[in-house]
Amino acid sequence: DSFHNFLAELPKCEHHLHLEGCLSPSLTFKLAAKNNIKLPSKEKKPEYESVETLEKRYEHFDNLQDFLDCYYLALDAVITKEDFEMLGWEYFTTAHADGVKHAEVFFDPQSHTDRGIPFATVVEGFNAACERAEKELGITSQLIMCFLRHLPASKAATTMQSAIDGGYFNQQQGKDRVIAGLGLDSSEVGFRPELFKEQYVLGKELGLHRTAHGGEEGDPSYISGALDSLHCERIDHGIKLTQDPELLARIVKEEILLTVCPLSNVCLQAVNEVGEVPIRKFLQEGVKFSINSDDPAYFGGYILENYCAVQKAFNLSKEEWKVIVQNSINGSWTGQQRKDELL
Ligand code: ADE
Ligand code: ZN
């Protein structure tokens, strides 16, 4: 209907998208065949029988960890620079169809370097997809390098050093590409943000932007910890913020953007249904947020599906959508000129 067209045509910015989360069962099998490997490489799992059985496995996740176990396993199929570029391109073509104009996308170098893939292969493959997206689709983008919080902080330091040594933090003149920011993802509860303070302080000194997953499954102290110790400018998910009104007031005052992922929250059972994501509360209280897809190959939809699911659950007005879209543009890590083009 016409509201669907309205949502489709909104100039979208995406801030919470894991490029590895675009690895669909069909692309997994395609890459595994190309690379001549049998999945999974370590142990036998019946869900790797076929594309269909893997799709079936992805229909239900008990929680974040249950999903992450699948997510890391499938990555064994992704090996060469061309594979990473193909995975990135899978994202950008679909995002383009959904009306994404600017994307700040996560990648997890450690989930590849830990299995022997060179850091440079990962960054250069994903970066090639970003370059191509700008040239062919007009989508501007930036890469956000995430540390895996279930790994020791010493491993994060090694990853940081790889990026520094490779010159991947050096912004080229007039072009905001290569790695623009730091993120923190993977298993949340028990892996506190404070553990990664040293790398974030260094990142801040190097002029990098900073965000971290927080308040997805963890309590609000994971959000305040990311603000206080990691100097985060954004919080990824942040839906548990409603448990702490004082912290909510601080987020409003400091204009911290939350990158909310409604379909992800349902699939990982952080909420029972989209209507439980505190969209209405955030709008009423003046909490700024963007709506994002997180891991679209796993959670049944890219960004437009998330916009539509929110509309179905909350029946927002066009004015409310304009506020959401404006906050998404203004909360992006791009120059004023690009923002003005999108506003
Ligand atoms: N890695 C990929 N998706 C994630 C999520 N939703 N939370 C934490 N880590 C992730
Ligand atoms: Zn995420």
pLDDT tens-digit map of 211-251: 999 999 999 999 999 999 999 999 999 999 999 999 999 99
Q: Is 294 in the pocket of ligand 1 (CB under 6 A)?
A: yes
Amino acid at 233: E
Mutate-to-test residue for ligand 1 from 23, 61, 64, 151, highest number of ligand atoms within 8 A of CB: 64
- Percent above pLDDT 70 for the chain: 97
The pLDDT tens digits for 86-145 are: 999 999 999 999 999 999 999 999 999 999 999 999 999 999 999 999 999 999 999 999
Structure tokens at 285: 């209280």
Torsions phi, psi for 104 (to 5 deg)? -115, 105
Position 41 pLDDT exceeds 90: no
Q: Is 64 in the pocket of ligand 1 (CB under 6 A)?
A: yes
pTM, two decimals, is 0.97
3-state helix, strand, coil split of the chain in percent (to 5) is 55, 15, 30
| 177: confidence class by pLDDT, cuts 50, 70, 90 | low
* Ligand 1 midpoint to CA 185 (Å): 6
* Ligand 2 midpoint to CA 77 (Å): 21
| 174: confidence class by pLDDT, cuts 50, 70, 90 | very low
Structure tokens at 107: 């990648």
Catalytic residues: 216
Q: Is 85 in the pocket of ligand 1 (CB under 6 A)?
A: no
Q: Is 216 in the pocket of ligand 1 (CB under 6 A)?
A: yes
With a CB cutoff of 8 Å and minimum separation 6, the contacts of 199 are 147, 153, 156, 157, 160, 182
Q: Is 186 in the pocket of ligand 1 (CB under 6 A)?
A: yes
The pLDDT tens digits for 295-318 are: 999 999 999 999 999 999 999 999
Amino acid at 269: Q
Look at the alpha carbons of 155, 229, 177, 17 in this order and tell me if their dihedral is positive or negative.
Answer: positive
With a CB cutoff of 8 Å and minimum separation 6, the contacts of 202 are 160
* Ligand 1 midpoint to CA 129 (Å): 21
Residue 165: exposed, middle, or buried by beta-carbon count in 10 A (0-12, 13-18, 19+)?
Answer: exposed
Mean of pLDDT values over 311-336: 98
pLDDT at residue 42, as a whole number:
66
Q: How far is residue 39 from each of residues 34, 88, 137, 216, measured CA to CA in Å?
A: 12, 21, 33, 30
Q: How far is residue 254 from each of residues 207, 247, 286, 338, measured CA to CA in Å?
A: 19, 10, 11, 23
- Nearest Cα neighbor of 70 from 57, 52, 88 is 57
Q: Is 21 in the pocket of ligand 1 (CB under 6 A)?
A: yes
Nearest CA to ligand 1 atom 10: 186
The 8-class DSSP code of residue 115 comes to T
- Please provide the average confidence, as pLDDT, over all residues in the chain: 96
Measured distance CA(194)–CA(214) in Å, rounded:
12
* Ligand 1 midpoint to CA 314 (Å): 25
| 170: confidence class by pLDDT, cuts 50, 70, 90 | confident
Mutate-to-test residue for ligand 1 from 75, 110, 186, highest number of ligand atoms within 8 A of CB: 186
